[in-house]
Amino acid sequence: MDEVDVLTRLLRKLNAANVSPEERQRLQAQIEEIMGQESDPFETSGDVEDDEYFPDEDDFGEASDIEQEIELEAVLDENHDDIHIYYGSKDGRKWNSNPPPPGRPRCHNVTTFTRKGPLRGASPSHKALFKLFLSPEIVSIIVRETYRNAVEAFRLWNEKHPSNKQRSWVMTDDDEMYAFFGMLLIAGVFHSNSQPAKELWASYNMPIYKATMSLNRFKSLTTFIRFNNSGTRVERLKQSKTAALDDVWLMLMANLEKAYTPDCHVTVDEQLFPYRGRTRFTQYIPSKPAKYGMKVWWICDSVSNYHLKGIIYTGKPPGGQRETNQGEQVVMKLMQNYMDSGRTVYADNFFSTYNLAEMLMNRRVAFVGTVRKNKTFIPHELLNPKRDVKSTLFCYHNNNIGLCSYMAKPKKPVIMLSTAHYRQSTDPLKGFKPDQILDYNKFKAGVDTMDQMLTGYSCKRSTNRWPLAMFCNMLDIAGLASFIIYDELNTAK
């Protein structure tokens, strides 16, 4: 075994996790001894400075199987105090194994907002908080379009049955519509949303349904409720597949963002709303419990699980092309109102790319997320399956974007991308996991927790109309947002 192989092995051992101080000192002494020999493979000549020299691939002789796809470089500073290992990735980037020098926090790690939590002056009452999200403006649209649809339906029925008694629609108003929404929510709270409406009005059930409205009126509102003008829908469907719900959905999202200021940590993930009816954008996700449904991209507060903004995913736009770099675009859209704030975004490997971390960093936002192992910016050394279990490798590019590889199980490294962590620290009490993984596990579940809370008390009823099914999801969202703010306001007291 030549000196290059010995030096390479020593450098790897020195960079591995769980190295005791005594062992580290012994390894450094051996490296210094090899580096000081006359046959030093890194010896320079001519007018090239020692600290500026980077060896060519020929200096290493024949590379091993692991080293064939990477460029491994080692540099020892003139004082022999620090070892620098450089890893090369497939896309040509060079990663340094040493952390950036300590100094002032970077601008994307400094928060600039002054307060967090509910909107100032928000009323602590249940009714006022619910109306803060499902506002009278939204309800007035629903009342108007429901009236338009019902009147047209009754007109067509009367024309078709001229000999029968003519029927007419009894006009609804905002109060009745709020009462209708309240009954849907109560049915969800008591897990009665799957029961037929006739059973809800039975004598053995709760009297609140009978006290609110008749069964026929409830069925009538369920049948004729609409959320947009059906007369112009055909034209608008050419631009948006969700034209039947766009107006009220966008208004609800605006109310959600206005009512709450998120903490330093936010999460981006997907929600699959269960639905097996016909839509133009039904998704199949086998990893989800429901498997089939409508997918919504969400950004949530990682601490309170408050949902800030959602985008319904409809696939390829009508007459358009399929999206590229979809994960990057989704995160940038959801973070649009939270740029230049110093917050940290947590996301899974669907969204994590080097370009996304760089774009967010330029807008003063940090990013932490898992990375798929097929990304070309990952050095091959971080994917080495022959490392010890619970060992961690760190590397950094341009002293701003960091990667770490934690061997959670044999031959199964977990790759993390972060612009919020610049210390190579692990927790021996938690399996020697690095800070990147500990923080990711702590703050990643904002959307999943929200989805779990919505599923447990969903008011969705059986229907073949996807706009009504998704509107039930909107009622759940408004109810959960009201509960989170109510809880914070009353806990603060």
Distance between CA atoms of residues 307 and 455, nearest Å:
14
Query: By the 8 A CB rule, do 392 and 17 touch?
Result: yes
The angle at the Cα of 404, spanning 307 to 362, to the nearest 5 degrees, equals: 55
Helices (H), 240-323: 246-259
What was the pLDDT predicted at 230? 86
- Output the six-digit token pair for 309: 């903004």
**DSSP string spanning 102-146?**
P-SPPGGGS------EEPTT---SHHHHHHHHS-HHHHHHHHHHH
Q: At a CB cut-off of 8 Å and minimum separation 6, what does 42 contact?
A: 35, 53, 55, 59, 74, 75, 76
What was the pLDDT predicted at 69? 40
Distance between CA atoms of residues 109 and 364, nearest Å:
7
Percent of residues in the chain assigned helix, strand, coil, to nearest 5? 40, 15, 45
What was the pLDDT predicted at 482? 95
Q: Which helix (H) or strand (E) holds 35?
A: helix 21-35
What was the pLDDT predicted at 79? 44
pLDDT digits (tens, 9 = 90+) for 91-150: 999 999 888 888 888 888 888 887 888 988 777 888 899 999 999 999 999 999 999 999
The residue type at 360 = L
Distance between CA atoms of residues 298 and 308, nearest Å:
7
What was the pLDDT predicted at 85? 82
Q: Is 285 helix (H, G, I), strand (E, B) or coil?
A: coil
pTM of the model: 0.81
Which residues of the chain carry a pLDDT beneath 50? 38-72, 77-81
What was the pLDDT predicted at 439? 96
Q: At a CB cut-off of 8 Å and minimum separation 6, what does 209 contact?
A: 183, 200, 201, 215, 218
